Amino acid sequence: MNEVFTFVDANHFIAKATLWEERDKDIKEKYEKLNNEVLPKVVFDKQARIGCQGKNKYWYGYKKHVSVDMQSGLINKVAVTPANQTDAKGLKHVCPKQGAIYADKGYCTTSARKTSAVKGCHLAVIKKNNRKNKNRDQDHWYTKIRAPYERGFSQDPKRVRYKGIVKNQFAAFMQAICFNLKRMLVIATPFQGEPIG
């Protein structure tokens, strides 16, 4: 893996929750509402948080950040953070050491640009619609480049089995190893009729 072109994305992990019981505990303890400040005091999983994607997609749990080498299709880095951490802030955990990073609108922020600049990377990001310098043709091209890798991670499990960031980080790491082994078998399989060796 040479990290010349890297695909970066984040997926959500939904934690096991009994939010009705936690809401009852919240009311009993006289908290006004269930939010990310109150959650650690009343929930079973103290490190999970409420995350948001877009304007109306909320979940309770974690976020998995993934970096994939676009040449081989192998996962370079994987990191798990609380769900309330933005994609752009999670980039520091999976940012490659060089090359171009292809990312979606979640990385169209100043903090993502600073993180990539510190590592010496070019951030090829799809720009948000309200940006003055938005180039729709360029964004369409970035989307086409990202599509095969995005499709590969859409089938990942969305629920976590464990409590805490460390255990979920280890589970994500093991899933990445399994993904890479399967990918390497596909890459190393000889063409039909070609002798092995």
What is the pTM assigned to this prediction? 0.80
Instruction: Express each pLDDT in 10-19 by its tens digit.
Output: 988 888 766 6
Who contacts 60 (Cβ-Cβ below 8 Å, separation ≥6)? 14, 15, 17, 19, 39, 48, 49, 50, 51, 83
- What tokens does 106 get? 């979640």
Task: Name the average pLDDT for the chain.
Answer: 83
Which two structure tokens, joined as six digits, stand for 75? 């996962």
Tens of pLDDT, residue by residue over 115-152, are: 999 989 999 888 888 888 888 898 888 888 888 887 76
Task: Answer yes or no: are the C-beta atoms of 94 and 66 closer than 8 Å.
Answer: yes
Can you tell me the distance from the alpha carbon of 38 to that of 48, in angstroms, rounded to the nearest whole number?
A: 12
Can you list the domains of the chain with their CATH numbers? Answer: 5-15+63-188 (3.30.420)
Q: What token pair was written down for 66?
A: 């993934």
pLDDT exceeds 90 at position 78: yes
